[in-house]
Amino acid sequence: MFEKDQAHILHADLDSFFASVEQRDNPALRGRPVIVGGGVVLAASYEAKAYGVYTPMSGRQARKVCPQAIVVEPRFSAYVEASKAVFEVFEHTTPMVEGLSIDEAFLDVGGLRRVSGTPTEIAVRLRDQVRKEVGLPITVGVARTKFLAKVASAVAKPDGLLVVPPEEEIAFLHPLPVERLWGVGPITAAKLHNAGVFSVGEVAALPSKWLASLLGPAAGHHLHALAHNRDPRPVHVGRRRRSIGSQRAFGRVPKTAQDLEAIVVGLVDRISRRLRGGHRVGRTVVLRLRFDDFSRATRSQTLTTATANTETILQTARELLSDVMPLIEERGITLVGVAIANLDDDCAVQLALPFDKHHRTELDLAIDDLRTRFGNKAVTRAVLLKSDDSWEFPLLPDPGPTDTDR
């Protein structure tokens, strides 16, 4: 019989996913420090992390702290295939799977005791199956809430399993640093530290109103609830993305306006193709920036009608980039991201006069077909010919909304 208060939610998270795939496919890399990506670290093996390599460190800095590291170019098609194989294991474990990204998911195994065993037994078997069938290490956290299951998997890394029984939740949670709370990044952590708050237990002891005055009403009440492990969110199945985006990090290498425009062109090409591949359209174009001092800025514009048309999205992204160029010139830039939000299914969108749903769509679809058959480099834009923005980004599966809380 399923008890609602038992630890029944699994957070399964592949360990150093890109680097682990490279080590799986090349035995010479196993047990050695591996860095995926040359200009910017996209992933690092735990052997490289032990030397202080992290994501998204610049490739130059990574090689400085770990000169013996082996640098490999990313192979996104291999990562997508590995992700599909892992998600097949998830779906054979339980029908209640909520994908968070290409390498992690929540699984609700409540009610499976009679057919599959206890949540702990299921978690042990899942890790064993991923290792045997896909050849990758995976860490699993098991708890009563999604939040605590995610915290448990983070604490158990790498290649571990941690179960938090309901009666031990507070004892496990409260000694942890505030950075473990979902939504606490460097800025929020600094505010809490300056106020003398360093542990989750200290957050729990504070009045919710005091936190709201320090961090804002939404963030304050959110963190107060999590510090008491109050997280009523269920595992959602078949939940679709609220946005689709892509980003490019390039360290502190100076970029001209032309360089940045070429990067934006490549990102928009990639995103619009993913939109059409998933039969989605969106109304809001979002430009995200990270500056040399690690501060961030976001600019967005909402269109009158939803679209997946490359030129429409690109024109809007170019306008947003032009508006923010003075800020980039002043503060330097280390990352550019583009996303499309306010998504809907393309068949659900009311056509705008003069009923031009297929305006330029035939060209987009023809190019999509060529790239699918012959690779992303088969047809490209002239502005990208001299750009290093030439990685192969295949269409990714749509496992669910990307987890951006941490």
Q: Catalytic amino acids?
A: 104
Contact by Cβ (8 Å): 139, 157: yes
Residue with tokens 């571990």: 160
Q: Is the peptide bond preceding residue 158 cis, with omega within 30 degrees of 0? A: yes
Q: Which of 326, 327, 301, 328 is nearest to 316 (CA)?
A: 301
Q: Are 203 and 209 in contact (CB under 8 A)?
A: no
Beta bridge partners of 162: 141
> CA-CA distance, 250 to 391, in Å (whole number)?
13
Any idea of the CA torsion for 288, 289, 294, 297, to the nearest 10 degrees?
Answer: -70
Task: State both tokens at 165.
Answer: 């029984």
Q: Give alpha helix (H) positions in 134-216.
A: 146-156, 169-173, 186-194, 200-205, 208-215
